[in-house]
């Protein structure tokens, strides 16, 4: 189980006191959830399994983790009630409800199944230069929701020790909640990818080498790595300074920022691959550490899909503790 009390990390003051801290949630307070499933009926890129995903996650939370149906808001585009349609306004309003009046040890759950994408980063917190976005049902008229906004609406208001578990079953979702600490299947924090933005630079370097200018190629490669390293380290540092939180926010996403997530059929039902794998892995083995669960989900999808689910957190975490929500 997660330890209680303040958890300290990072640099120390002159008096020896550590500067940064957070609290794990014991998840024994109030439980609330928001499940969003959008099939985009009649639109150009209609999906099939997203409403099923929202329903399946709702039932899973009630069955396995003690959530009550009255404390779960459902937004799906088959809803007859306009207030339950997953429009941009309704989604943001429901997110505010989810985190409103949050207390330490509460457990809040957000699930989104639908379309995701990317747009140019404007504030310098993205290593690859692009913000991640999710698409409400009315995105063509109302616009998308950027990861910066998702973070400031759902993570920033949380008190220390309050859990937010978020699942993004959509394309380009690796950092969809803008949480600065991403974890590998070894349970370690991923370092910035120094060549994330260097594709064109490496191509030019390769052409220089083919033309016989080996010195120029080596110089070009050095400049590419130096430039990419500078941009990535600056973005990673900016993200840690502006997105780190003493609250206990966790994000499970269906794929890397550069990948797509499958809308597929599993067990005879249309579903998102990530939502299906998350429920299946925890149903078969409810007592898994964060690292074990990430490995389990990856293994469940590995032989059929190219997407690689991601785990991120608002603070440095011990991935050997038990996943609870």
132-168, pLDDT tens digit by residue? 999 999 999 999 999 999 999 999 999 999 999 999 9
Q: Name the catalytic one among 171, 255, 313, 325.
A: 171
- Eight-class DSSP state of 293: H
Find out whether 320 and 187 touch, Cβ atoms under 8 Å.
yes
Residue 6 counted as domain residue: no
Strand pairing report for 18-22 and 7-12: antiparallel
Q: Are strands 269-272 and 181-183 parallel, antiparallel or unpaired?
A: unpaired
Residue 309 pLDDT: 98
Instruction: Specify if 14 maps to a domain.
Output: no
- Which residues span the domain enclosing 48? 23-193+240-313
154 and 219 belong to one structural domain: no
Contacts with 266 (C-beta within 8 Å, 6 or more apart), sequence order: 273, 276
Predicted TM-score of the model (pTM): 0.85
pLDDT at 126: 52
115 is catalytic: yes
Tell me how many domains the chain contains: 2
d(CA 95, CA 110): 8
State the CATH number of the domain containing residue 71: 3.40.50.12660
In a shared domain, residues 207 and 256: no
Would you say 118 and 176 are in contact if contact means Cβ atoms under 8 Å apart? no
**Co-location of 173 and 245 in the same domain:** yes
The reply to whether 208 and 99 lie within a common domain is no
**Cβ atoms 74, 84 nearer than 8 A:** yes
Residues 215, 266: one domain? Answer: no
| Residue 287 DSSP SS3 | coil
Residue ranges in the chain modelled with pLDDT below 70: 13-18, 122-128, 192-236, 238-239, 241-242
The pLDDT value recorded for residue 198 is: 39
Tell me if 10 is assigned to some domain: no
Q: Which of 27, 35, 111, 115 is catalytic?
A: 115
């Amino acid at each position: 189980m997660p330890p209680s009390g303040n958890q300290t990390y990072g640099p120390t003051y002159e008096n020896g006191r550590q500067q940064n801290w957070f609290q794990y949630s014991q998840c024994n307070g109030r439980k609330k959830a928001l499940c969003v499933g959008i099939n985009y009926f009649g639109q150009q890129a209609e999906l099939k399994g997203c409403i099923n995903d929202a329903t399946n996650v709702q039932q899973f939370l009630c069955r396995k983790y003690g959530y009550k149906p009255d404390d779960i808001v459902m937004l799906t585009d088959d809803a007859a009630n306009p207030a339950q349609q997953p429009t941009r306004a309704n989604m943001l309003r429901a997110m505010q409800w989810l985190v409103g009046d949050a207390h330490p040890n509460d457990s809040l759950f957000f699930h989104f199944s639908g379309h995701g994408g990317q747009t140019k980063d404007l504030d310098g917190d993205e290593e690859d230069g692009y913000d991640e976005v999710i698409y409400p049902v009315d995105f063509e008229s109302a616009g998308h929701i950027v990861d910066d906004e998702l973070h400031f609406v759902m993570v920033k208001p949380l008190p220390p020790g309050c859990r937010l578990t978020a699942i993004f079953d959509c394309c380009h979702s690796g950092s969809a909640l803008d949480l600065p600490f991403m974890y590998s299947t070894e349970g370690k924090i991923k370092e910035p990818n120094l060549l994330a933005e260097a594709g064109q630079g490496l191509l030019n370097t390769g052409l220089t080498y083919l033309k016989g200018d080996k010195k120029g190629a080596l110089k070009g490669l050095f400049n590419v790595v130096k430039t990419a390293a500078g941009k990535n380290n600056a973005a990673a540092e900016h993200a840690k300074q502006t997105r780190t939180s003493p609250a206990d926010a966790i994000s499970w996403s269906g794929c890397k920022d550069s990948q797509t997530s499958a809308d597929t059929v599993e067990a005879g039902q249309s579903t998102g691959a990530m939502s299906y794998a998350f429920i299946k892995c925890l149903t078969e083995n409810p007592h898994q550490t964060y690292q074990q669960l990430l490995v389990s989900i990856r293994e469940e999808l590995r032989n059929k899909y190219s997407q690689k689910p991601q785990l991120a957190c608002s603070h440095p975490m011990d991935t050997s503790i038990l996943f609870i929500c």
